[in-house]
Structures are given as C-alpha cells and as structure tokens.
Structure 1
Amino acid sequence: MFAMRMKLNEQIIKQESVEAIFINGKRSGFAFDVQLAYYRGHYLSDIDCLEVYLDGEKISDEAITFELKGKELPLYKLKYAVTEFWSQVDLAKIRVLKAGGITGEHELEFKLMLRIPYMQIGPDHQFMPLDSGEKVTISMEGA
C-alpha cells in the first residue's frame, strides 16, 4: 500500500519517555510519548490505524489508550474525536497494559496511519494515507 511519509522529527517515539506503569505497586505495563510527523497536524478522527507491537507481537487494542492534552481515550473512540486536534508540536502519550510489565531490551513498533482529508486520490473519494509510525529498540530497567 502506498502511503506518504514525512518524518519531520528525529524521533516519533520519544525513547527517553518510555516508563513502566504500576498498578497497586505491581508492574502492569508501559507508556511512551509520540510526536506526529506531519507539519499540518490532524484531527484524531482522521486516524485510520493505530497499533503497538512489542517484539513483533501485536498488542490488543483494548490494552492501549491514547492521551492528548490531558484527555485519555481508548482506541475505538478515536474515530469519534472530530474536535480533538493533534498538532505536530504536541506529544501524545500511549499507555499499554501488559500483565507483569516489561523489563530488559525490546523492539517497540508504533504503527500510525492517518487519512489526509483534503488530498483526494483516485476515484470513490479515497484520501492520501500518511504513515507516521516508527520502530525502535527500548530498554526498561527491572525492579
């Protein structure tokens, strides 16, 4: 599938932001910040795909939330967030619940495909897809 790619940032996944999530004192997942790699920004309702993979394994959508400007949403609600605008300079926080959390080194992939609503391509009102994802290696301390 063809998708436009504009990596305007050195890091889409902000590796220094990766942190453990603790619930009742137990390691229960991890979180990380991401920056949109498109100069115009986007409404959250223009997100066609948001997926997180850890060591090649897809994390279930139900285990992921997306936070922007203090508003945390489950993934299924993003398509309804027609008034929530994600500017290129704003960091979003991705939270992933994972029993036992993670420690050590892992490959983290963030897949983000956006629909550019003002760039129609082809017949039937198809719109230009924008790939704003990234794959990195992260390291989490134990304890």
Structure 2
Amino acid sequence: MFDRYIIVENSLRNVEDGADIVGFAFEARCGYYRRLILSMVEELAVSVDGEAIPREDVALTVDGTSYSLEDMRTEYTVAWEFGDPATITVRRPGGLTAGPHELGLAEQLRISYIPVPHTPSTTQTQTVAA
C-alpha cells in the first residue's frame, strides 16, 4: 500500500571515505505502519540497475549507529520508527556513476501477529550528482 514511499526521493548519493568513493547510500522508510525492533527486519534486498547487491554489503543506519544485516538479527532494543528515514549504505568501491540509476528495495519484515513475512518493495529512478 505504501510501498512507493519506502525509498526517499532524491536521496541517492555516493559515499566517500577521504578521497575514495567507497559505496553509495540512500534514505528509506520502514514499510510498516508501526515501529519495528531491528531484529524484526529480516532482509533489506537492494538492487541497482537490475543487479542484486550481496546482503553482506548492506548496512542500515538508525539514530547515527550503523548495523550490518547480520548484526540486526540480534538487536532487540533499537527500533526503526514509522516515518523516520534511515540510511541504507551499500559497500561498492567506486560507488555509482553520475546520472540516473534504477534503485530497488525489498524489505522483509517479521510482524508478530502475521504468520508470513510482510515484504514491501519498490523501485525508483534516482540520479547521482556529478
């Protein structure tokens, strides 16, 4: 229902470490109508230009702290609040070229009273500035 809103528009950018571009990042919202403890976020499947990104290269930053998807499995106190964008960072040496890219995100969320995972997903074309 709200899938088209999970990726924040115009948020795609390259990530620098000193003079090196080490990956890219974008802002995303939790695709559920309530806050979720990070251990309930089972997967953040990111793709760019049709290429699936390996899960070990994806991290989520909430309230200034970054978590790998593996670390999130045992994070029982930190929550991703409804409506609050978090940063998804992808490790990718050289980042993305300037210009438009097809960005995809599928969130696999475990909801306590639903027997199957909730999986909101969307794709969006965003532009990396030169």
TM-score if structure 1 supplies the norm length? Answer: 0.82
Distance of 1:27 and 1:86 partners within structure 2: 27
* 1:38 equivalent in structure 2: 32
1:55–1:107 Cα contact (<8 Å) kept = yes
Question: Structure 2: 5+ residue runs without aligned partners?
Answer: none
Displacement, 1:55?
Answer: 1.1
Distance of 1:48 and 1:102 partners within structure 2: 26
User: Aligned runs of 1:44-83 on 2, under 5 Å?
Assistant: 44-83=38-77
Displacement, 1:89?
Answer: 2.2
1:47–1:113 Cα contact (<8 Å) kept = yes
- Amino acid of the structure 1 residue aligned with 2:100: E
User: Which is richer in strand?
Assistant: 1
* 1:122 equivalent in structure 2: none
Higher mean C-alpha displacement, 74-83 vs 129-138: 129-138
User: Aligned runs of 1:1-143 on 2, under 5 Å?
Assistant: 6-7=1-2, 11-103=5-97, 104-119=99-114, 127-142=115-130
Q: Considering only CA atoms, is the larger Rg found in Structure 1 or Structure 2?
A: 1
1:52–1:108 Cα contact (<8 Å) kept = yes
Runs of 4+ in 1 over 2 A off after TM superposition: none
Question: Structure 1: 5+ residue runs without aligned partners?
Answer: 1-5, 120-126
Distance of 1:53 and 1:44 partners within structure 2: 21
Displacement, 1:56?
Answer: 1.2
Displacement, 1:57?
Answer: 1.0
Q: Classify the secondary structure of the residue corresponding to 2:70.
A: helix
Residues 53-75 of structure 1: per-residue CA shift (max 9 Å, x gap): 11111112222111111121111
